[in-house]
Amino acid sequence: MEKNNAASFYQLINHTADCGIEVVGDDLTALFENAGRALYDLIADTADITPTAEYSLEVSGMDMEDLMVSWLRALLDFWTCQDMLVSEITVMDLSGFRLAARIRGDSYRPETHSLRHEIKAVTYHRIQVAQAPDGRWRAVVIFDM
């Protein structure tokens, strides 16, 4: 996963009580990687994270929107259940509505890591995953904060 300026792959969406993002990717693999990167960029300053652990992750869904929600929920579980901040995401396989990835990150340490926002959940509200006329992929995701 390359570290780009966050503004180049996602933007915040105004939403009344929650936080929304619009994510883009040149293909579906990049879209899912960028959505995961955006999630963790909202949670913490990912520049402060030096990966010390690596995990494999597999998720599936009933359609592309369900796969996106399942993917982001699985990534969020690393933070909420294990205090793990993810800094690198590589989608290894994306076929049909199944995704396999390798993620790398580090356990949260308050003296090292700067937290930004508390994200409680990934919602289905306004979820969209679609290919744009220019061939790029776009997703809209709302987080409960």
DSSP-assigned beta bridge partners for residue 49: none
Domain boundaries, the chain: 26-144
Q: DSSP secondary-structure letter at 110?
A: T
Q: What pLDDT shows up at residue 1?
A: 40
Q: Is 122 helix (H, G, I), strand (E, B) or coil?
A: strand
Please determine, for residue 26, whether its predicted confidence score (pLDDT) is greater than 50.
yes
Q: What pLDDT shows up at residue 133?
A: 94
* CATH number belonging to domain 26-144: 3.55.10.10
Q: DSSP secondary-structure letter at 96?
A: T
Please determine, for residue 3, whether its predicted confidence score (pLDDT) is greater than 50.
no
As a whole number of angstroms, the distance between CA 89 and CA 6 comes to: 15
Q: What pLDDT shows up at residue 143?
A: 93
Residue 8: count of CB within 10 angstroms of its CB: 9
Residue with tokens 């509200």: 125
Q: What pLDDT shows up at residue 4?
A: 46
Summarize pLDDT for 93-112 with one digit per residue, the tens: 999 999 999 999 999 999 99
Please determine, for residue 7, whether its predicted confidence score (pLDDT) is greater than 50.
yes
Q: How confident is the model at residue 19 (pLDDT cuts 50, 70, 90)?
A: confident
Q: How confident is the model at residue 13 (pLDDT cuts 50, 70, 90)?
A: low
Please determine, for residue 64, whether its predicted confidence score (pLDDT) is greater than 90.
yes
pTM above 0.95, yes or no: no
As a whole number of angstroms, the distance between CA 124 and CA 141 comes to: 8
